[in-house]
Amino acid sequence: MIGIALPGPADFPAWRDAARRLLAAEVAPERVAWHLAGEAAGLFAHEPVPEPRRTGLTVPRSFPELAEVVIRHRDGERFALLYRLLWRITHDEHGLLEVATDPEVIRAQGMAKAVRRDAHKMHAFVRFREAPEGRYVAWFEPDHHILEAETGFFLRRFAGMRWSILTPEASAHWDGEELRMGPGGRRADAPAEDAKEELWRAYFASIFNPARLKPAAMRAEMPVKYWRNLPEAQDIPRLMAEAPKRVAAMVARGATPPAPRRQRVLATDVEVPMPTDLFTQDPATALAALRAEVLADRGPLAEHATQAVFGEGPIGAALLFVGEQPGDEEDIAGRPFVGPAGRMFNRALEEAGIPRAEAYVTNAVKHFKFKPTGRRRLHQSPDAGDIAHYRPFLRREIEIVGPRLVVSLGATALRALTGKPLAITKVRGEVVKSEDGVPVFPTVHPSYLLRLPDPESKEREYARFLGDLKGAWREVQ
């Protein structure tokens, strides 16, 4: 047997160096007895490590990552287990750590999990008490050899404080500049109380809801072994004992009559909107009134949308563009044509030389219709019923703006305007009449251009769309 003495209980570099030497010398795991320096090495563990025979052994990166954690476990078998894993990985089982069903892998991963949990609980359950001269001292009892590895967490968090964490095995001290590891301590070495603990206990008692006791869930996450070092835990038995009485008292009181002096509004800065005259002849006022009406619409699509999106642009614009419906971005922003299709439309408008002062933009349907799927909203085409619901709004909007020509973008807009399901391919480029006798110039919706798969057809169709816009602009010159 070959005895290997390690200087500390969680000294990963020392273990790694020893393991490398053993591996290079082809020493099988059964021939190694691992122990800590100062402990007896076992009766026959006096052979030296033989001369190296192999070089250039590689292991997947996941192994040292796992080993570095497992070595902090208190199980005395950890050094040997890690060496056995290393041996198997370097002897025809390179992918061993991926075999989650292997008993030794399960064991090592279980140990790593226990160590990580212990560290996480340490971050959570260390309780500092203020000692003289503004020093903060905590007594903590971890299950595994984690103190040194976890000092970094406390250092990053409390770099400006001076603190000590005492455990039975070792202690860590930060003086604001330097971290020093020291010997283990006793509970009595930490202050016995802290002035703020009373407030913390009061908080703990008040934040808990007595009407939903789940003590098993509490104990699963905050095991009883930690309670003796948690100031708030001493109140748990009392809180649990009192809970049923508190709930019974609530029930007995039942619904209470409203307080005689209700909390009042002390001052208000809520603006009261001015009443608007719906029958006014002034188009700006009429449009504002129509807008208010659309925003207040509670039709079937309103329930799921953020808000209605009304048209934008100057009254008297020569061209009025009608799109399909607001999309995801329009729904959030509350403005038409701000999403991807809107941006493409604006670019085309500029390239066609149509001044903004002559373009009013709106949609046939005023709410976003979509299907929520997981993390995104999927656009859904409005149906005949949706179109019909918003048509009265659209007709009045066109009437008030009073354009010389309406440009319909896509099938929905064309249908909303003409009342008929016309195919765009048939009427594209010619002027048709809306139900109200307004001239309508049909073209495609810019989102159609976005959906085209290949760049060539995209370019060709964009040019054609641009041609349509220019044609519409010529119509109104």
Partner 1 sequence: MELRRKLEILADAAKYDASCASSGTEKRDSREGGIGSTEGMGICHAYAPDGRCISLLKVLLTNACIYDCAYCINRATSNVPRARFTVRELVDLTLDFYRRNYIEGLFLSSGIIRSPDYTMERLVDVARILREEHGFRGYIHLKTIPDASPELLAEAGRHADRLSINIELPQEGALKALAPEKDLSEIRRAMGRMRLRIEEAKEARKAERRAPAPRFAPAGQSTQMIIGADASDDRAVLGTTANLYGSYGLKRVYFSAYSPIPDASRLLPPQPPPLVREHRLYQADWLLRFYGFSLDEIMAGGEGGMLDLGIDPKLAWALRHRGDFPVDVNRAPRERLLRVPGLGEKTVDRLLAARRHRSIRSEDLARLRLPLGKLLPFLVTEDHRPRVTDRLDLRALVAPRTGFAKPVQMQLL
In the list 273, 353, 374, 437, the residue contacting partner 1 (rule: CB under 8 A) is 374
Identify residues 209-228 at the interface with partner 1 (CB under 8 A): 209-218, 221-222
Strands 405-409 and 439-443: parallel
Nearest alpha carbon to residue 442 among 424, 455, 460? 424
- Residue type for 240, please? M
For residue 166, what are the β-bridge partners? 139, 171
In the list 194, 324, 358, 386, the residue contacting partner 1 (rule: CB under 8 A) is 194
Give min distance, CB of 287 to partner 1, in A. Answer: 21
Between 334 and 402, CB nearer to partner 1: 334
Between 212 and 420, CB nearer to partner 1: 212
334 is a site residue for partner 1 (CB under 8 A): yes
CA distance 245 to 238: 12
Nearest alpha carbon to residue 16 among 63, 60, 49? 63
Q: Among 83-91, 250-258, 272-280, 455-463, which window interacts with partner 1 (CB under 8 A)? A: 250-258
Between 178 and 221, CB nearer to partner 1: 221
Instruction: Provide the token pair at 206.
Output: 């008040």
CA distance 168 to 323: 73
Identify residues 123-162 at the interface with partner 1 (CB under 8 A): 123-130, 136, 138, 153, 155-161
Q: Among 3-11, 304-312, 399-407, 416-424, which window interacts with partner 1 (CB under 8 A)? A: 304-312
292 is a site residue for partner 1 (CB under 8 A): no
192 is a site residue for partner 1 (CB under 8 A): no
In the list 265, 272, 273, 474, the residue contacting partner 1 (rule: CB under 8 A) is 265
3-state secondary structure of 470: helix
Q: What are the distances in angstroms from CA 109 to CA 39, 215, 241, 314?
A: 27, 29, 39, 68
In the list 331, 358, 386, 397, the residue contacting partner 1 (rule: CB under 8 A) is 331
In the list 51, 92, 177, 206, the residue contacting partner 1 (rule: CB under 8 A) is 206
For residue 32, what are the β-bridge partners? 2
| Overall residue count recorded for the chain in this entry | 477
In the list 43, 192, 267, 272, the residue contacting partner 1 (rule: CB under 8 A) is 267
Nearest alpha carbon to residue 290 among 399, 418, 386, 385? 399
Q: What string of DSSP letters covers 113-132? A: HHHHHHHHHHHHH---EEEG
Identify residues 83-102 at the interface with partner 1 (CB under 8 A): 95, 98-101
Identify residues 55-84 at the interface with partner 1 (CB under 8 A): none
CA distance 37 to 12: 14
254 is a site residue for partner 1 (CB under 8 A): yes
Give min distance, CB of 219 to partner 1, in A. Answer: 8
Instruction: Provide the token pair at 432.
Output: 């048709």
The DSSP secondary-structure symbol of 139 reads E
Residue with tokens 């509350």: 334
Between 174 and 393, CB nearer to partner 1: 174
Give min distance, CB of 60 to partner 1, in A. Answer: 12
Identify residues 414-473 at the interface with partner 1 (CB under 8 A): none
Number of residues that bind partner 1 (CB under 8 A): 92
